[in-house]
Structure 1
């Protein structure tokens, strides 16, 4: 792709060295296309332009158009936990010491009262103030006089009485919130006593100052443990959203639960977490890693050319761009209908192009990768991916045996039918409405149509731009109506017949070793196309016994014979033949020796000044199996055709002799044929040749003579007409 001399003066030596390193350069191509795919998929995770906020009024209806989805709602789960916690009653425990503390406090208050009562140093006024402070009550003069004059026995009776009332009131469970009622109850009991009002004031004040305590107290620790236990028992709340469900209604207040659902379903993103892009990056790394590993392990021939990597990367990313464009088309305000547009994405076009331009297995893998990418673009709705895989595989299987471009129309029907059927099946599974199913099926049919249009429209361009020879192109070249085939038939009929026979031999041999039989057959048709320029210098095209080589030197004859390769390349280039056919035309003789004229030259000049290199073809040796097969088939067909009375044994001897001569001359050293392949090729040749030259019925002598006379009368010499690729100089037995 890049040459060091082109970069010198424009880039540092390190850059030149990098681009001259095939592995580094091709890895860079993979990185470029990987980043492009990552950026296209990342667009699906960018924040929405219009974001709904909790508590705001919804400006629009929001529907969900994907398949049925169930997710865990954190908000609803938290609500369920709160409800469970609120349902737990407060836990109380008994406080058996509460009554003892109240009784002790009452006794202490009575002691203080007695102490004030007995303290004469305070004086009457001082005692009154002290008692009022102790009781928290205001005493009349009369009440004070009665209380200050009370004896110890009376006070002990009052003490015992109030304690008895309290014990009776606290006999049952008393909680904090019940203390006020208990105190009122005790006060009522005191008021009902048949005693002086002054003593009632005393008892009431002491009860108030004693501060009653509950004998049944709240236990926060036990309550908290019970709450935790109940919360732990709450299962996460699952929310199911079905296709066509309205998530938000226009004019209503947006709730936190609705925001959560929108964010989970990918219908709203206020911001995108960096972890999302990290995960997406890892996903694309995995998929590209699988593709690169597959190519390196199972299709290394793809990795050998930058153009193949560029082709795969372009098809992948252009398909993703098309998917993004079609997926953004708004066909309805109802999301469940709008989502059906994803079924129209023609990923099958990429599947067909890869299958036609490369191979079926690579196309299958790329179809799976694209289906996964579509799943990401549709927020994990794998139903779309499934339809893509099914449609893509059908497309691949249908184009595997493609013979004419017009057949792509039939393939589009198959893709549309299968895609529509798959959409209907899934629609029934997910209980979608007939309208949604019908629109989805229509999109599936449109998918097939678009896939066919894209494939037919781009295939010729891709073939030309990337120098790829497809089976469709080869089949077009094999047509007898091709201009060059017509010229060959009319201007060099012997060569035409020879080329057809070579094609038969080569095709059988290619099938035997698993080579490209179609390429071999078409290459055989055109391998000698250069003979059109000087047809009569080749034996098979000479109608009479006169041989033009008798009038020129062996060196000039050799130049004319060798030039048919150069002439053939020029003709093929004029008709824009693919590179593979040009290679076949150039290499089908390799650098082999034109032995007949070489030996004739040595005999004429006694071998002085004669160089073998001057009598060799100036071309590369066969670089692949297909060209090697054509070389062998070409030589074998000409040699066997020139035999006087070919028999099964003599044919085999001749075939093995020709193959051995090519091996000994090193013509097969640059291709990857094995000895097992060569033996299989020989056996395939023998099957075809034995069928062509099978033994015939012996006619009576008289009939045979009459038939021979008839042939001579018609001016046809059978033996002479069957010689191929030979100049009729001398005995004309040497194959060129």
Structure 2
């Protein structure tokens, strides 16, 4: 989630930066990413003289190099907290509690008084009183007495009870004393100078009262006293003499020790300006070389702000992970700790770049990241060598991906290559057996870590930057995809048609150097819109009446053309990549639905028919792959209508379809050349000849002889088994 939020914010800021111009925007974001990268690497060029943390044992005796007097923020804060703790809580008396209880006690008297006034004396009055006092646990004699009480006596009872409540609820009463206070009130009720038959009623009212403490915590007054106590604490002065021990060897470091070391300057980082300048120059040269390569050899990537931002983010994220790796300590032996650099996941950056951008760019980026790993790991050339081996192996592993799980299997090759590189470097540099063993273990972990990072980051980067990788397309080729399963079950003719179109498109795209995988996947899904009304399309009409026979040509053309819009809706619903959606939207272009157009002309009785009403209102193909799918779709749909298929007839038909699309202007935005169209036609014919090749018809005598031999072989098999 944090990664998605970060990338989302960067994309938002990038979009806003579009107002300042391309060059200025690139300069701004390039500067930001460059600054972040240098800041991450520069941590090694700002070493601390001591690396101590609170709660850890000190590695040695540390003494003050000079005397110092300072105000201790740690001890002062501790003294102020102690003074604050000593302040007693402030309470105040809430005089409204007693009056609220009095009002609560008057309620039953009002209820009884109302019943006495509204109900004549007798059984009905007693029943109403019993109903009003349900749960009060009053006996029949008490209820009878209340039913016959006069108003003056009732007023006297009320006033005496009020006096009892006010006497006992005045003053400071804590929560713990509430029940004791209630018992005192009940005792006094028993001694009141009233008739005994009314005392249970008064006691019941006391029991029903919701007593609350009159002594409440005064937050404001308590905070005021505590703030005053804190303010009265005098800052604690600490005096340290020269040579005085701050912390001893093996002693647990406290906050006071850290503060003293900071005041003495023992934890303050230095400022090696020469090293920083050298680092900035080196980073500038490396970044310039990468950008120069992209500008010269990969102009499409260099021209894309989005892809450049992706490459920069991969760089910064790699540095962050590498910084975390190099922070791992393996004890007090420097020769062992520097081996941690073998865990830096150069291959993860290489594989992500190869999958998301380009394999050749990934090779250059591998060298770049390996150099960064060497700098981060302490300027050791063996880390550069190991990083190059790991990164190049990673690029090779993802060159021919067939599914996402192949990324996990690539960790085996990465692990083997890493271990061989580390072993060779260990023998070359004369490392000890322990160092070689540790390096091999880290190399093994590097292979697993690189694969895990690649698998983890790839989906987020694909969705965030809108990149459709070969891995994503291969997942869409799975026949168990919900859309393909629906197509097979609900529109089997369209499904079979799509498979044949995919074979044609893949062969043609491969022949002219286009993206054959994209062409194949686009062909799989180009007609998914037919799922909405499959029976309106001829390939799904098996032995059923054609519904178009009962419709007007204009309505039929409208229904047919809607499958493009329906397909786009399904594609968005199931999250198909934008490049596949483009093929769905463009695979008909503005083609004329000639069958319905000619049918309309026949029915028009000489009236002019608007050709525009019978054309698809969709974009023309904008890419080679979309144009190839259009041609393959038309060829496959039309080839089945030929009465007798022969190689010459198929070739004539294929060339005719391509020529018609060209002359109709459907291919003008696809960047296909005349040479490409010729090659595409040849590729179509190779596939069609393989599908519709003629089969040998065996003579009747030959068939009978084959059947006889089959039966004889079966009998011999049974005899041998017996």
Instruction: Assess same fold via TM > 0.5.
Output: yes
Question: Structure 1: how far apart are the matches of 2:306 and 2:418?
Answer: 32
CA contact (8 A) 1:594 1:617 kept: yes
In structure 1, C-alpha distance between the alignment counterparts of 2:518 and 2:448, rounded to whole Å: 30
Distance 1:288 1:606 in 2: 72
Query: What secondary structure is seen at the aligned counterpart in 2 of 1:622?
Result: coil
Structure 2 CA distance for partners of 1:530 and 1:289, relative to 1, 3 Å = same
Question: Which runs of structure 2 are paired with 1:435-446 in the superposition (5 Å)?
Answer: 435-446=434-445
| CA drift at 1:373 | 1.2
* Structure 1 counterpart of 2:400: 401
Kindly report the root-mean-square deviation, in angstroms, between the aligned alpha carbons of the 2 structures.
2.8
Residue 146 of structure 1 corresponds to which residue in structure 2? none
Q: In 2, Cα distance between the equivalents of 1:445 and 1:488?
A: 45
Q: Could you tell me whether the CA contact under 8 Å between 1:494 and 1:541 is conserved in 2?
A: yes
Shift of 1:322: 0.6
Which residue in 1 is equivalent to 2:369?
A: 370
Superposition deviation, residue 342 in structure 1 = 0.9
**How far 1:31 sits from its partner (Å)?**
3.3
Deviation of the 1:270 alpha carbon: 7.3
Q: 1:488 to 1:27 in 2, by over 3 A?
A: farther
Show the counterpart of 1:491. 490
Q: 1:583 to 1:419 in 2, by over 3 A?
A: same
Partner of 2:426: 427
Q: Aligned pair 1:569/2:546, yes or no?
A: no
CA contact (8 A) 1:520 1:630 kept: yes
**Residues 1:48 and 2:48 aligned together:** yes
Quote the offset at 1:43 in angstroms. 2.3
What residue in structure 2 maps to residue 592 of structure 1? 591
Contact 2:45–2:272 (8 Å) recurs in 1: no
CA separation in 1, counterparts of 2:29 and 2:440?
A: 38
Match of 2:165 in 1: none
Q: Does 1:341 align with 2:348?
A: no
- Confirm or deny: 8 A CA contact 1:523 1:581 kept in the other structure: yes
Displacement of 1:695: 2.4
Distance 1:674 1:336, change over 3 A: same
2:609 equivalent in structure 1: 610
Deviation at 1:282, TM superposition (A): 2.2
Larger Rg: 1
Post-superposition offset of 1:657: 0.7
Q: Residue 646 of structure 2 corresponds to which residue in structure 1? A: 647
Which stretch of the first structure deviates more once superposed, 650-659 or 461-470?
461-470
Q: Which runs of no fewer than 5 residues in structure 1 stay unpaired?
A: 1-10, 52-57, 62-249, 251-267, 705-736
| Cα distance in 2 for residues equivalent to 1:499 and 1:37 | 48
- Extract unaligned runs of 5+ from structure 2: 1-12, 52-57, 62-248, 250-266, 704-722
2:19 alignment partner in structure 1? 19
The alpha-carbon deviation at position 60 of structure 1 amounts to 5.7
Q: Per-residue displacement from partner, 1:286-339 (whole Å, max 9, x unpaired)?
A: 222222222222222223433222221111110111101110111221111111
Measure, in 2, the Cα distance between the counterparts of 1:579 and 1:647: 39
Deviations 1:585-614 (A, max 9, x none): 111111222122123223322564633222
Matched, 1:513 2:512: yes
Q: Compute the displacement of 1:384 (Å).
A: 0.3
Distance 2:487 2:572 in 1: 16
Aligned residues: 482
- Which residue is equivalent to 1:466? 465
Q: Taking structure 1 as reference, are residues 624 and 23 closer, same or farther at Cα in structure 2, changes over 3 Å only?
A: farther
Task: Tell me the equivalent position of 2:500.
Answer: 501
For the Cα contact (< 8 Å) 1:29–1:309, is it kept in 2? no
Deviations 1:213-270 (A, max 9, x none): xxxxxxxxxxxxxxxxxxxxxxxxxxxxxxxxxxxxx9xxxxxxxxxxxxxxxxx997
**What is the TM-score when the length of structure 1 is the normalising length?**
0.62
Task: Tell me the CA shift for residue 18 of structure 1.
Answer: 5.3
TM-score (norm. length: structure 2) = 0.63
Structure 1 residue 412 corresponds to structure 2 residue 423: no
Taking the aligned partners of 2:364 and 2:268, their CA distance within structure 1 comes to: 32
- Residue matched to 2:37: 37
The equivalent residue for 1:678 is: 677
CA offsets 1:448-492 (integer angstroms, 9 cap, x no match): 111111111121222222222122221111111111111101111
Residue-by-residue CA offset, 1:156-194 (whole Å, 9 max, x unaligned)? xxxxxxxxxxxxxxxxxxxxxxxxxxxxxxxxxxxxxxx
SS at match of 1:363: helix
1:96-115 equivalences in 2 (<5 Å): none
The residue number in structure 2 matching 1:353 is 352
Question: For residues 315 and 549 of structure 1, what CA distance do their matches in structure 2 show?
Answer: 55
Q: Which residue of 2 aligns with 1:142?
A: none
Taking the aligned partners of 1:20 and 1:571, their CA distance within structure 2 comes to 38
After superposition, the Cα gap between the structure-2 partners of 1:297 and 1:614, relative to the gap in structure 1 and judged at 3 Å, is: farther
The alignment partner of 2:613 has SS state of helix
Residues 504 and 687 of structure 2 are in contact (CA less than 8 Å); yes or no, is this contact kept in structure 1?
yes
Deviation of 1:512 after TM superposition, in Å, equals 0.5
| CA distance in 2 between partners of 1:297 and 1:620 (Å) | 33
| Cross-structure match for 1:535 | 534
Q: Distance in 2 between matches of 1:23 and 1:609?
A: 55
Secondary structure (helix, strand or coil) at the match of 1:481 reads: coil
Matches within 5 A, 1:97-496: 271-496=270-495
For 1:17 and 1:59, how far apart are their aligned partners in 2? 50
Work out whether 1:667 is the aligned partner of 2:666: yes
> SS in structure 2 opposite 1:453?
helix
Please name the residue that 1:134 is paired with: none
Whole-angstrom CA distance in 1 between matches of 2:603 and 2:301: 52
